[in-house]
Structure 1
Amino acid sequence: MNDADLSLVYRVRPPQTASAAGRQPPLLLLLHGIGSNEDDLYGLAPYLDERFLIVSARAPLALGPMAYGWFNIEYTPQGLVGDLAQAEQSYQLLLRFIDELAEKYQTGGAGIYLAGFSQGAMMSLSIALTHPQKVAGVVALSGRLPTSAIAHLAAPEDLAGLPIFLAHGTDDFVIPIDFAREAREFLAELPIELTYREYPMAHQVSMESLQDIRAWLSERLGQKAV
């Protein structure tokens, strides 16, 4: 969907189950990884809680035919290095897009959840850790903790109780599991509600991890009147 009034191209799956009378549905924003597009994670929609209005966004940086990213990366002797200027531009664009979604769909108390894969996980964590008031919870899959988020953390009282589901594959050779374990150690020191899982998978979303994600998100909704 290309809504001229919104900052990013996206696809929508309407909720399959009605919310309580007079309440707007909770919104789940999906953020894909580098080299992919909005159709990628949209394919997970049938496996997720039917109460969600699901929005799958396209990253703004065109890398090739139907291939997009949030920022370019470069292979160096020190490892992967991201384009920080592009990352900041995408971060600001995503903040605006979240506000636009909140207004367009009147999410109100139901809130907006973020679920990102790889580079999309990095963007999700960046938003959540610096602007926790904008999100109701985060699923971060096969990513790493952005240094920019560490440098600009929100105040502890604003982060308190923020639900984060962090998951990674032990056989991931794109972003090795060590990055997830480092993120776990850092996040464990914050006053958030952290759930951490490792799976015997590569750089992917396995059915086992998807089942756990669905259960975790459904549990979050169970704590709210939706």
Structure 2
Amino acid sequence: MNYHHIFIKGEENQPVFLLLHGTGGNEEDLIPLARMINPKASILSPRGNVSENGMNRFFRRLEMGVLDEVDLEKRTHDLYEFVSEAAYEYNFNRKEVVALGYSNGANIAASMLYFFNDAFKGALLHHPMVPFRNKKMVELNQLPIFIGAGSNDPICLPDETNALINELENKNSDVTTYWGNAGHSLSQEELRHAANWYKKYFS
């Protein structure tokens, strides 16, 4: 498995969180959030294996706000394989994986939805962008997705969020969106809405 990562075994018959941190983060960043949402779930948390000026990322970008789509596609498939290998290694149900990503991590989670309709049981995407400009997304078959966004986010502009929502809904996913006003940050209110969404679909 080609990611430095953490696996924490939870209770049986509970989902497995795939935690995907933001730029400059690491595999420990989102564990408190996952524990807040569901303390009984298992956790699989990889560290991004791309370095940008010493900051961990899951894929390269050409400049701020411009993703390297060729690199992103390759690393999206790598991450999918990593999760499948981890399911075998740690003996968890591959069909029970719920993605929880922030910023760069949310972007690669969103990217997986372009290629795989069996990647996740559900996904919480905090401040994602549209990962691809000219690629068709697979049918998502009512996949439940939570998007946390900022109406004043200077990095992921509202138009970006709305474009991704439209892509997801056009492929028949069940999207719930929370709009906050804390910029690109994760506010307590956004986290509360994420937790409530999770309880609605997975408790």
The structural deviation recorded for 1:87 is 1.4
C-alpha distance in 1 between matches for 2:162 and 2:68 = 24
Mapped contact 1:142–1:169 kept (Cα < 8 A): yes
Which segments of structure 1 move beyond 4 Å, counting only runs of 4 or more? none
Equivalents in 2 of 1:134, 1:106: separation in Å? 17
Matched, 1:179 2:169: no
Query: Aligned AA for 1:141?
Result: H
Structure of larger gyration radius: 1
Question: Partners of 1:40 and 1:179 in 2: how far apart?
Answer: 25
In the other structure, the counterpart of 2:117 is: 132
Q: Structure 1 unaligned runs (5+)?
A: 1-5
Amino acid aligned to 1:217: Y
Q: Deviations over 1:126-172 (max 9, x none)?
A: 11332111210111111112116x61422x3xx21111111201121
Higher alpha-carbon deviation: 179-188 or 27-36: 179-188
Q: Structure 1 residues 135, 191: CA separation in 2 closer, same or farther (over 3 Å shift)?
A: same
Q: Distance in 2 between matches of 1:108 and 1:46?
A: 19
Equivalent residue number for residue 97 of structure 2: 112
**Structure-2 residue corresponding to 1:162:** 143
CA distance in 2, matches of 1:197, 1:161: 18
Say if 2:23 is the partner of 1:38.
no
Q: How does 1:1-226 map to 2 (within 5 A)?
A: 6-15=1-10, 18-19=11-12, 23=13, 25-65=14-54, 67-75=55-63, 80-108=65-93, 111-147=96-132, 151-154=135-138, 156=139, 159-222=140-203
Q: Percent identity?
A: 23
1:190/1:92 CA distance change after superposition, 3 Å: closer
- How many residue pairs match? The answer is 203
What SS class does the counterpart of residue 116 from structure 1 fall into?
strand
Is the contact made by 1:60 and 1:90 (CA closer than 8 Å) also made in structure 2?
Answer: no
Deviation of residue 101 (structure 1)?
2.1
SS in 2 for 1:33: coil
1:109 to partner: Cα distance: 7.3
- Structure 2: tracts of 5 or more residues without a match: none
